[in-house]
Structure 1
Amino acid sequence: MDGKKILFVSSELVPYLPENEVSLMSYETPKMVNSNGGQIRIFMPRYGNINERRHQLHEVIRLSGMNLVINDMDMPLIIKVASIPKERIQVYFIDNEEYFKRKATFADENGTLFPDNDERAIFFAKGIVETVKKLNWSPDIIHVHGWMASLVPLYLKKYYADEPLFSESKVVTSVYSKGFEEELNPDIVKKIEFDGISADDITPLAKPDYNNLLKIAVDYSDAVILASEEISEDLTKHIATLQKPVLPYVPFHEFEEAYANFYNTEVLK
């Protein structure tokens, strides 16, 4: 991985959120690349339940200040940054008062998904790309973890298709079993169409459940990693039809060599 630039985009990340399959691999994978000489950047949402004082988040004024248009509304983009202790790894946080101030990640105290999770996912996807453009940093690989990040491949390949900074970037999506039981707001299709993306390009989102969000993510990725041992049959069958590299599930203690080899021989070939 020496000298390769990899952008990691994640819904969740330790130590900022509790440990689960997504948040742990979102930490361990960039750590592995970093230790093997790669250059990394990590992006995640700045949820309101992240303790800014404890984790020493601070706003990056030069990157903040632009508005992103989400469904015909101007939403201010705030960028914060923090460093993971002992690892010399910097994390960028996509923030907006309307979308991310609430003291929870994806659902309310009753476990009901927030009705604007669709808009939060769109904002997150566009916010990442706009920030990386400001950084003028062209990644070799963009590795996506978690469903809140699942619209990133779509937006890169459609909305930002003519952006030269990403013309050589390869998108990898890790697919996890951990998802959600409900569906997102059915207006997600109209909101994505507002950005000039055809409904024909996102037909699975007519039913915006977890599996269909991930189908969109893998459809617009260049390669796929099966990051959980058990993935739904529906999603597994869909991935099997894709004409693109797929890394089967490997146990945690074997992932470093397997992921590095997959990046080098399948993604960057």
Structure 2
Amino acid sequence: MNGKKILFVSSELVPYLPENEVSLMSYEAPRMVNSKGGQIRIFMPRYGNINERRHQLHEVIRLSGMNLVINDMDMPLIIKVASIPRERIQVYFIDNDEYFKRKATFSDEQGNLFPDNDQRAIFFAKGVVETVKKLNWNPDIIHVHGWMASLLPLYLKKYYADEPLFAESKIVTSVYKQSFDGALDAGMVKKIAFDGIPEDSIDHLKTPTYNNLLKVAVDFSDAVILASEEIPEDLQQHISNLQIPVLPYVSLQEFEEAYANFYNTEVLK
């Protein structure tokens, strides 16, 4: 991994959010690459339940200030950064008061998914790409974790298809076990189509369930990592039909060599 540039984009990350499969691997994979001499950047949403004072988040004025158009609405993009102290790893946070100020991640106190989760996912995907463009940092690999980040492969391959910064970048999506029931807003396809992305390329999102979000993510990825022991059968079948490299599940205790080898021999070949 020496000298390779890897962009990690995740829904969740420890120590900023509670530990689960997604948040822990979103920390461990960059730590591994960092230790092997790779260059990394990590992006996640700045949810309102992240303690800014404790984690010492601060706004980056030179990166903030642009507006992203989401479903014909101008939404201000705010970028904050913090460092994971013991690893000397910097994390970039995509923020917007309308989408991320609420004191929760994906659902309300009753467990109901936020009705604008689809727009939040679109904003996050576009916000990551626009910020990386401002940094003028061209990653060799873009590694996606968690469903809130699942639109990034689609936007990179369709909306930003002509962006030279990512012309050589390879997209890897880690697929985890199902993390929510039900579906996002039924109008999600129309909101993505507003950005000029053909509806026939996102047919799955006519019913935007967890499985269908991940199907779209892997459809526009160059490789897939199965990051949970139990992947929904429907999703597993979809992945097996793709003509791209797939890394089977490996435990947290054994992932380092497997991931590094997969990056080097399958993704960057």
TM range (shorter): over 0.9
The alignment's C-alpha RMSD in Å is 0.4
The residue number in structure 1 matching 2:143 is 143
1:164 and 2:164 aligned: yes
The residue number in structure 2 matching 1:218 is 218
The residue number in structure 2 matching 1:249 is 249
The residue number in structure 1 matching 2:91 is 91
The residue number in structure 2 matching 1:261 is 261
CA–CA distance in 2 between the matches of 1:242 and 1:225? 13
Alpha-carbon offset, residue 178 of structure 1 = 3.8
Q: TM-score, normalized by length of structure 1?
A: 1.00
2:178–2:232 Cα contact (<8 Å) kept:
no
Q: Which runs of 5+ in 2 are unaligned?
A: none
The residue number in structure 2 matching 1:202 is 202
CA–CA distance in 2 between the matches of 1:77 and 1:267? 31
The residue number in structure 1 matching 2:180 is 180
1:68 and 2:68 aligned: yes
CA–CA distance in 2 between the matches of 1:169 and 1:210? 25
Aligned partner letter, 1:22: V
Alpha-carbon offset, residue 66 of structure 1 = 0.0
CA–CA distance in 1 between the matches of 2:80 and 2:178? 27
The residue number in structure 1 matching 2:15 is 15
Q: Which runs of 5+ in 1 are unaligned?
A: none
Aligned partner letter, 1:37: G
Alpha-carbon offset, residue 85 of structure 1 = 1.3
CA–CA distance in 2 between the matches of 1:71 and 1:250? 39
Aligned partner letter, 1:44: M
CA–CA distance in 2 between the matches of 1:187 and 1:236? 26
Alpha-carbon offset, residue 182 of structure 1 = 1.3
- SS of residue in 2 equivalent to 1:86: helix
CA–CA distance in 2 between the matches of 1:207 and 1:251? 32
CA–CA distance in 2 between the matches of 1:14 and 1:266? 28
Alpha-carbon offset, residue 58 of structure 1 = 0.0
After superposing on structure 2, the runs of 4+ consecutive aligned residues of structure 1 that deviate more than 3 Å are none
Aligned partner letter, 2:44: M
CA–CA distance in 2 between the matches of 1:162 and 1:180? 34
CA–CA distance in 1 between the matches of 2:68 and 2:207? 26
The residue number in structure 1 matching 2:101 is 101
The residue number in structure 1 matching 2:2 is 2
Superposed CA offset, 1:37-68 (max 9, x none):
00000000000000000000000000000000
Aligned partner letter, 2:119: E
- SS of residue in 1 equivalent to 2:259: helix
Superposed CA offset, 1:4-34 (max 9, x none):
0000000000000000000000000000000
Superposed CA offset, 1:70-102 (max 9, x none):
000000000000000110000000000000000
CA–CA distance in 2 between the matches of 1:70 and 1:205? 17
* Percent identical residues: 83
CA–CA distance in 1 between the matches of 2:182 and 2:83? 34
Q: TM-score, normalized by length of structure 2?
A: 1.00
Alpha-carbon offset, residue 152 of structure 1 = 0.2
CA–CA distance in 2 between the matches of 1:140 and 1:179? 29
Moved more, 7-16 or 177-186: 177-186
Alpha-carbon offset, residue 252 of structure 1 = 1.1
CA–CA distance in 2 between the matches of 1:201 and 1:119? 18
The count of corresponding residues between Structure 1 and Structure 2 is 269
CA–CA distance in 1 between the matches of 2:147 and 2:108? 17
Alpha-carbon offset, residue 251 of structure 1 = 1.2
